Amino acid sequence: MTTVPSVNWSYPTAVRFGAGRIKELAAVVKLAGMKRPLLVTDPGLAKLPMTAAMLDLLKADGIEAAVFSDVKPNPVDSNISAGVAAYKAGGHDGVIAVGGGSGLDAGKLIAFMSGQTRPIWDFEDIGDWYTRADPAGIAPIVAVPTTAGTGSEVGRAGVVTNEETHTKKVIFHPKMLPAYVICDPELTTGMPRMITVGTGMDALAHCLEALCSPFYHPMSEGIAVEGARLALENLPRVAANGQDLVARGHMMSAGAMGAVAFQKGLGAIHALSHPVGALYDTHHGMTNAVFMPYVLKFNRSAIEAKIERLAGFCGIKGGFDGFLEHILKMRADLGVPHTIGGLGVDDAKRDLIADMAIVDPTAGGNPVELTRDAALAIFDAALSGEL
């Protein structure tokens, strides 16, 4: 680097971290200025005792909340439209977003769109499109993650699938960042093992891609390194024992850290995972986990020195090759499929996936240019299992 770079940096919001801190939900909601919040979550979580307990905590403090849970695992635009309609019909004044990536993203997008007059696609994360939004029309948000991976609780964007084009779009606005976050690892202990694995691998993918992104952001790069270490050390622990609160806490930290770090950039793991998820409705984190080693190998020429340093920091011997072997073994131990065929993906939409990958917003952060031929090569490797 021969000149001092000129860049914009942003760091996250107020986070209340610790076991049992969900008990502070009512206080946090009041601090955010809400009196009649809409709690947005997914259908599965809406039926669980933890959601009823949250509503009871709010009611005991004089806060009447309604629940909206018409949210798909990969939220679509009609979910957001229905949520905005429920928000307006109920006269709500803020959103409590609860869940994994789907509940958190949907909640944030409902809060964002509650006071907008333009279509949601006008606010895609392209250039300064976010300036088209009316900031006064964005409702306050409190986020309560129940998984450890997406990091959406500390993000300023939401991912939503366009049902007409079957493409995932990133909608961005600085005020989409939740005003308060409650990270309570006790809320994650009931996660099914494979959701724990998928979301945990998502956190690791965020950290790895942020670290490898060529853009200049040393603070995010440092956070990515420690986030990766936490994920590598603790994901096997929580997969083996879902009641390990210490490891659950470390994974919640890794998830949030990955999302903070990836403002530095993401890359081909996500650029390929997004179209596959949109077209085949696969779990986002698990899709990232499958693509991970193939993208690491593709990027090797540009990232070898960074991965060697990361491996040393994490106590993994053998440099890049040792790190890649560690990832492969960890995936196998955790039950991650070695190929995308294990996720039900075939080659029928191979060309379309490549076309979508190279224009995905994350593609530009890959340290090696993601051309169409490169996207096809990575996809074919992930389909055949050849490294």
pLDDT tens digits along 263-305: 999 999 999 999 999 899 999 999 999 999 999 999 999 999 9
Percent of the chain with pLDDT over 70: 98
Of the pLDDT bands very low, low, confident and very high (cuts 50, 70, 90), residue 2 is low
CATH number of 193-384: 1.20.1090.10
Helix (H) or strand (E) holding 288, with range, is helix 284-298
Tell me phi and psi for residue 360, to 5 degrees.
Answer: -65, 145
Q: Residue 252 class from Cβ within 10 Å (0-12 exposed, 13-18 middle, 19+ buried)?
A: buried
**Per-residue b or e along 94-123, where b marks 16 or more CB atoms closer than 10 Å to that residue's CB:** bbbbbbbbbbbbbbbbbbbbbbbeeebeeb
Tokens 């986030």 correspond to 227
In this structure, the strands spanning 157-162 and 167-172 are: antiparallel
What's the pLDDT score for residue 371? Answer: 98
Least confident stretch, 15-19, 165-169, 239-243:
165-169
What's the pLDDT score for residue 3? Answer: 74
Rounded to an integer, what is the distance from CA 378 to the centroid of its chain? 22
At the topology level of CATH, where does 14-188 sit? Rossmann fold (3.40.50)
Rounded to an integer, what is the distance from CA 80 to the centroid of its chain? 18
Is residue 6 predicted with pLDDT exceeding 80? no
- Contact yes or no for 294/336 (Cβ under 8 A): no
Q: How far apart are CA 41 and CA 99, in angstroms?
A: 6
Domain limits, CATH 3.40.50.1970, in the chain: 14-188
Helix (H) or strand (E) holding 96, with range, is strand 95-99
Residues whose CB falls within 8 Å of the CB of residue 360, separated by 6 or more in sequence, listed in order: 168, 270, 271, 274, 275
Question: What angle is formed at CA 169 by the lines to CA 369 and CA 281, rounded to 5 degrees?
Answer: 95
Q: How far apart are CA 70 and CA 79, in angstroms?
A: 6
- pTM of the predicted model as reported, rounded to 2 decimal places: 0.92
Summarize pLDDT for 209-248 with one digit per residue, the tens.
Answer: 999 999 999 999 999 999 999 999 999 999 999 999 999 9
Domain limits, CATH 1.20.1090.10, in the chain: 193-384
In this structure, what token pair is assigned to residue 282?
């696969």
In this structure, what token pair is assigned to residue 4?
């001092």
Summarize pLDDT for 66-95 with one digit per residue, the tens.
Answer: 999 999 988 999 999 999 999 999 999 999
